[in-house]
Amino acid sequence: MRIVLDASGGDHAPQATVAGAIAAARTWGDQIILVGDEAAIRAELAKHDISNLDLVVVNAPEIIEMTEHPAQAIRRKRNSPVAVGLRLVREGEADAFVSAGHSGATMAGALFILGRIRGIERPCLVTHFPTVNGYALLLDSGATTDCKPEYLVQFAQMGNVYAQKIANIPMPRIGLLANGEESNKGDKLVQDTHGLLLQRPDLNFVGNVEPKDMLINGSADVVVADGFVGNLVLKFGEGVFKMITTAAANNIKATWRQNLALGLLPTLAALALPGKGRWRAVIAGLTGLSLPASLAVAPLLALRKRMDYRSHGGAPLLGVNGIAIIAHGKSDALAIQNAIGQARNAVEQRVVATISHALETVELVPSA
Amino acid sequence: MRIVLDASGGDHAPQATVAGAIAAARTWGDQIILVGDEAAIRAELAKHDISNLDLVVVNAPEIIEMTEHPAQAIRRKRNSPVAVGLRLVREGEADAFVSAGHSGATMAGALFILGRIRGIERPCLVTHFPTVNGYALLLDSGATTDCKPEYLVQFAQMGNVYAQKIANIPMPRIGLLANGEESNKGDKLVQDTHGLLLQRPDLNFVGNVEPKDMLINGSADVVVADGFVGNLVLKFGEGVFKMITTAAANNIKATWRQNLALGLLPTLAALALPGKGRWRAVIAGLTGLSLPASLAVAPLLALRKRMDYRSHGGAPLLGVNGIAIIAHGKSDALAIQNAIGQARNAVEQRVVATISHALETVELVPSA
């Protein structure tokens, strides 16, 4: 397999991208095509032992700034990593494209260069959103902000294929994100989409899912929303989690001395008294003090790990004629490697062909 | 002051409503008018000492079911607590209405019976949303799901007045909830509203606020969204918080024995050895073990208290010609008392007259 990586994209490029590419090439034996500023990439590669690895460098020196309009930039900067990388995919010289750079540019580039899958109105991004017992596939999490009900139905279809192929769920439960379970909840877009989804024989539609259904009860495998709402709740979830850990950390800081003092008291009392068992008492007190303190930190650390975008790598853009994975701008080497792994999975599971096939099959079924 | 309370509304009525009304009457000396099933209310009142309290009972036995269409139910059931209570406010026989019952019915009832403030297109709900360092006023948090940009501008104006009068913020920072700070973020509604808000000389508009700006950085005092998005993020925030505490509790349960065993080891070791200081060592070990364990629970408990809807009582419905407070369906006596307190504040601060006045004043200012 041949995966193109935007080696100049992301906050920690090219260190993280090159290290991630090397790890991926070593783990899976794939060819990784590094596109970007060739000199910088080669300088970074020189720091590693890359013997026996299939690494190719393609120069693509033009830089798309974060302030640039994505669609215009893609048209104008034909030698940017995104434009060069996606052309390699279109021309069959690579199987997938991964970037942690300007996500708008990747989305616009994928639309212009790869094109849409025949029949698909708009693309959507898929995110693994952590829940109490695992995760839900949230889509669209940011590709198409202004949607019609028909778009959301297609997002549901694409999510259905993705959940079957990638998450190995035979009959994924499809939910519509809303502020209440009843079919009259949500705004007009949600209500109209609800009506359309009820008529789809190809989808296991479980109705509206409230946030608590999605996060606590795990009522749906695939959660559908428009790109504005999906992206907003994604950021809202990250924000609330950050808020809680920040507030908890402030609280631990604030009460730490007090707790420490209380915990140390018996130890100090033992130390002050004369007698043979004095040191034993001190050791018992100190050990008893430090070990259970891990109770305070462990649960939050465990959750943070599950909420960490790095474990899933990135968000696949569905609906375009090829595999494009949008990795987090803050991606480190592990996140880049996982994003490449995600691209591999999508290629192996023939996600694009399956979405295309699902659309064709469904069109044969008369809607109610 | 005279506050009407829907004594039959809410999951814990009439116990919680009657107890909350009594606490409010005792604390502030106000007249509380309890509307609802008279027999049930009187039976509940009989369990308390209500001497010297100004409590009035008004029979309103008709029940609006949760499954009923709010607007139809309000028109049909003229003897429901919501209809009776709001008529008392309209006719000047009470100063404010509070209900923990069917929130849709209260909103519909307030619109039909109290009417809108002259010039206001649609009403909105205000919620105190907890942040790292306090809270933000989120509106609309659920009254008007399908909005035009003009509605959101009016929500901003109403939030501005509410923040000045009730939260005592002289020049509230008004933010527009979006998935990015840049003015081209958000859906079309957000983008169009952004343009309109920039032209308002009466508002201290700080631009788009991302979730992290709202929750962590505290960048805005008033956060504006349409009623669908506002209600959804409100429920999403509750959901993520519940998810984290549930997962943390599961984690604490899972690691508890292990931590306990590790913490106890030195104590048991001390106990096993002979010598004078043995008991001192055991006491030191056990005390050292138990006290810092509070570290694990304290931060989450402290946050839960701040996230608790009960501390703010309820969400005021702004834009209608009178004070209506929508309390949480799960309200206990404390939450009911706080909702009554919130109604008192709104009456004392003349929130309705001030909103009305703000609209008139602003119309004199030519927009850019």
Domain ranges within chain B, ordered by starting residue: 2-120+319-359, 125-233, 251-306
Chain A, nearest residue to B212 by Cα: A239
- Under the banding of pLDDT at 50, 70 and 90, the label for residue A266 is low
Reply yes or no on whether the pLDDT at B223 is more than 60: yes
- Under the banding of pLDDT at 50, 70 and 90, the label for residue B367 is very low
The residues that bridge with B161 in the sheet, in sequence order, are none
3-state DSSP call for residue A353? helix
Q: By the 8 A CB rule, do B81 and B35 touch? A: yes
In order of A2, A344, B304, the CA distances from A348 in angstroms are 12, 6, 45
Q: How much is the average pLDDT of A212-238?
A: 95
Res B88: pLDDT: 98
Chain A, nearest residue to B184 by Cα: A69
Reply yes or no on whether the pLDDT at A22 is more than 60: yes
- Look at B299 and A251 and tell me if their CB atoms are within 8 Å: yes
Q: Which of A215, A300, A304 would you mutate first to test chain B, the one with the most B CBs within 10 A?
A: A215
Cis peptide before B14 (omega within 30 of 0): yes
Tell which residue, B95, B68, B71, B66, has the closest CA to residue B83: B71
Least confident of A222-236, B37-51, B62-76: B62-76
Chain A, nearest residue to B104 by Cα: A185
Res A313: pLDDT: 76
Q: How much is the average pLDDT of B8-23?
A: 96
* Number of alpha carbons in the 13 Å side-chain half-sphere of residue B228: 22
Res A292: pLDDT: 46
CA angle, A315 then A316 then A317, to 5°? 115
Reply yes or no on whether the pLDDT at A299 is more than 60: no
Q: Which tokens is B315 given?
A: 């969400």
The residues that bridge with A97 in the sheet, in sequence order, are A4, A324
Distance CA A112, CA B67 (A): 48
For B318, the enclosing helix (H) or strand (E) is: strand B314-318
Res B207: pLDDT: 97
Distance CA A321, CA A25 (A): 25
CATH class of B125-233: alpha beta
Residue A248: which of B247, B260, B299 has the nearest Cβ?
Answer: B299
Min CA distance, A225 vs chain B (Å)? 11
Residues in Cβ contact with B341 at an 8 Å cutoff, skipping those fewer than 6 apart: B24, B27, B28, B313
Reply yes or no on whether the pLDDT at A300 is more than 70: no
**Average pLDDT of every residue of chain B:** 87
Residues in Cβ contact with A351 at an 8 Å cutoff, skipping those fewer than 6 apart: A161, A162, A165, A166, A316, A318, A323
Residue B215: which of A243, A248, A281 has the nearest Cβ?
Answer: A243
A172 CB neighbour count, 10 Å cutoff: 22
CATH 3.40.718.10 holds for A126-233: yes
Reply yes or no on whether the pLDDT at A90 is more than 70: yes
Res B240: pLDDT: 86
Q: How much is the average pLDDT of B116-133?
A: 92
**Fold match between domain B2-120+319-359 and domain B125-233:** yes
Give the strand order in the sheet containing B222-224: B127-131, B134-139, B222-224, B173-177, B204-209
The per-residue pLDDT for range B314-342, each reduced to its tens digit, is 899 999 999 999 999 999 999 999 999 99
3-state DSSP call for residue B64? coil
The per-residue pLDDT for range A113-159, each reduced to its tens digit, is 999 999 999 999 999 998 888 889 999 999 999 999 999 999 999 99
Res A243: pLDDT: 82
Least confident of A27-36, A98-107, A282-291, B261-270: A282-291
Q: By the 8 A CB rule, do A31 and A25 touch? A: yes
Chain A, nearest residue to B133 by Cα: A247
Reply yes or no on whether the pLDDT at A227 is more than 50: yes
Least confident of A22-31, A267-276, B18-27, B155-164: A267-276
Reply yes or no on whether the pLDDT at A288 is more than 80: no
Res A265: pLDDT: 61
A279: left (phi over 0), alpha (psi -120 to 50) or beta: alpha
Q: Which tokens is A168 given?
A: 């190995």
First vs last Cα of chain A: how many Å apart?
A: 42
Distance CA A295, CA B291 (A): 12
Reply yes or no on whether the pLDDT at B364 is more than 50: no
Interface confidence, given as ipTM, is 0.86
Residue B267: which of A177, A231, A284 has the nearest Cβ?
Answer: A284
In order of A125, A286, A311, A339, the CA distances from A141 in angstroms are 5, 49, 17, 17
- Under the banding of pLDDT at 50, 70 and 90, the label for residue B245 is confident
- Look at A248 and B303 and tell me if their CB atoms are within 8 Å: yes
The per-residue pLDDT for range A163-191, each reduced to its tens digit, is 999 999 999 999 999 999 988 899 999 99
Q: Which tokens is B222 given?
A: 């008033």
Distance CA B88, CA B85 (A): 5
Res A276: pLDDT: 59
Q: Which of A286, A287, A290, A297 would you mutate first to test chain B, the one with the most B CBs within 10 A?
A: A287
Residues in Cβ contact with B64 at an 8 Å cutoff, skipping those fewer than 6 apart: B70, B73, B74, B77, B80, B82, B101, B102, B105
Distance CA A61, CA A3 (A): 19
In order of A289, B108, B250, B267, the CA distances from A281 in angstroms are 12, 68, 33, 8
Q: How much is the average pLDDT of A312-332?
A: 92
Q: By the 8 A CB rule, do B1 and B95 touch? A: yes
- Under the banding of pLDDT at 50, 70 and 90, the label for residue B358 is confident
B294 CB neighbour count, 10 Å cutoff: 18
Reply yes or no on whether the pLDDT at A368 is more than 50: no
Q: What percent of chain B has pLDDT over 70?
A: 80
How many secondary structure helices (H) and strands (E) does chain B include?
A: 13, 12
Architecture of domain B2-120+319-359: 3-Layer(aba) Sandwich (3.40)
Tell which residue, B132, B225, B75, B44, has the closest CA to residue A245: B132
Reply yes or no on whether the pLDDT at A295 is more than 60: no
The per-residue pLDDT for range B260-295, each reduced to its tens digit, is 665 566 566 666 666 656 666 666 556 555 544 445
What phi and psi, each to the nearest 5 degrees, are found at residue A33? -100, 110
Q: Which residues of B68-103 are buried (b: 16+ CB within 10 A; e: fewer)?
A: bebeebbeebeebbbbbbbbbbbeeebbbbbbbbbb
Residues of chain A neighbouring B286 (CB-CB closer than 8 A) = 288
CA A179 to chain centre: 24
Q: What percent of chain A has pLDDT over 90?
A: 70
How many residue contacts between A and B have a Cβ separation below 8 Å?
A: 270
- Under the banding of pLDDT at 50, 70 and 90, the label for residue A365 is very low
Res A364: pLDDT: 41
In order of A251, B291, B330, B343, the CA distances from B238 in angstroms are 20, 30, 14, 24
B269 CB neighbour count, 10 Å cutoff: 16
Q: Which of A129, A146, A244, A257 would you mutate first to test chain B, the one with the most B CBs within 10 A?
A: A244
Strand intervals (E) in A178-220: 204-209
Which residue type occupies A359?
Answer: L
Q: By the 8 A CB rule, do A314 and A98 touch? A: yes
Which residue type occupies B32?
Answer: I
